[in-house]
Amino acid sequence: MGLIDTRITVNLEDRSQTILEDLSYVGGTNIRALKGPDEPVLIFPKQEKLITQMFGTPTSTYTDVWNLIEYNKNYPVYACSATVGGRYGGVLVTKTGTEAFTGGFTTIDSISFSALQNIEILGTGDASTTTFTASLSNYLDYNAETVDLIVNGTAVSLTVSTLGVTETLTATGIYAGSGTLNTSTGDLSFTFDTAPANNVTIEVTYTIDRSDDVYFLLYNPYREADDTAVLITYASNLFTIKLYDVNSDGTYTEIQASPFPVSLTEGSKDGFGINNYIGDVFQDSHYIRPIINTALAVTTFVDDTVQIELDGGTRGTHSITTGYNYFQQAEKYPVDLFFDGSGEADVITVFDSLSKNYQKYATYIFGLPLESVSNALTTVSGYSLNNNNIKVYWNYMQIKNTYTDGTFYACPIGRIAYNHGKNRENFYSGRQVSWINENEVGGQLGTGFIRAYYSPLPSEVTQLENANINPIVFHPVYGVMVTNDATQQTITSDYSDGGHVGLRNYLVNTILQDVLPFQIDKPNDTEHRNNVRSQVELIMSGPSATPGLLNWYVVKCDEENNNATVRAKKQFIIEVAVQFTPFSKTIVFNFINYGQTVEVNEAFV
CATH number assigned to the domain with residue range 27-82+319-499, chosen from the 4 options 3.30.9.100, 3.90.380.10, 1.10.760.10, 3.40.50.11780: 3.40.50.11780
Q: Which one, of 44, 77, 531, lies nearest residue 327 by Cα?
A: 77
Are 165 and 186 spatial neighbours (Cβ–Cβ below 8 Å)?
no
Are 203 and 120 spatial neighbours (Cβ–Cβ below 8 Å)?
yes
How far apart are alpha carbons 263 and 96 in whole angstroms? Answer: 18
User: What is the pairing mode between strands 187-192 and 550-556?
Assistant: unpaired
Residues 464-493, mean pLDDT to the nearest whole number: 97
In the chain the first and final C-alpha atoms are separated, in Å, by 80
Spell out the residues 6+ positions from residue 523 whose beta carbon is closer than 8 angstroms to its own.
none
CA–centroid distance for 554 within its chain: 38
> How many Cα atoms occupy the beta-carbon half-sphere of 203 within 13 Å?
16
How far apart are alpha carbons 345 and 375 in whole angstroms? Answer: 13
Radius of gyration (Cα) for the chain, nearest Å? Answer: 32
For residue range 146-203, list pLDDT tens digits in order.
999 999 988 898 999 999 999 999 999 999 999 999 999 999 999 999 999 999 999 9
Asked whether residue 16 carries a pLDDT value surpassing 50, the answer given is no
What single-letter amino acid sits at 311? D
Q: Helices (H) and strands (E) in the chain — how many of each?
A: 11, 33
Are 57 and 72 spatial neighbours (Cβ–Cβ below 8 Å)?
no
CA 582, 495, 428, 482 dihedral sign is negative
- Among 53-57, 87-91, 272-276, 469-473, which stretch is predicted with the lowest mean pLDDT? 272-276
Map 437-478 to HEC letters: CECCECCECCCCEEEECCCCCHHHHHHHHHCCEEEEEEECCC
For residue range 55-108, list pLDDT tens digits in order.
999 999 999 999 999 999 999 999 999 999 899 999 999 999 999 998 889 888
Whole-number Cα distances in Å, 416 to 376, 435, 444, 477, 579: 19, 12, 9, 19, 27
Q: List the chain domain ranges.
A: 27-82+319-499, 90-309, 523-605
User: What is the pairing mode between strands 166-171 and 469-475?
Assistant: unpaired
Q: Which one, of 393, 328, 326, 392, lies nearest residue 360 by Cα?
A: 328
For residue range 215-268, list pLDDT tens digits in order.
999 999 999 999 999 999 999 999 999 999 999 899 999 998 999 999 999 999
How far apart are alpha carbons 576 and 574 in whole angstroms? Answer: 7
Looking at every residue in the chain, the average pLDDT score rounds to 93
- pLDDT reported for residue 23: 43
- pLDDT reported for residue 380: 97
3-class state of residue 87 by DSSP: strand
Spell out the residues 6+ positions from residue 378 whose beta carbon is closer than 8 angstroms to its own.
none
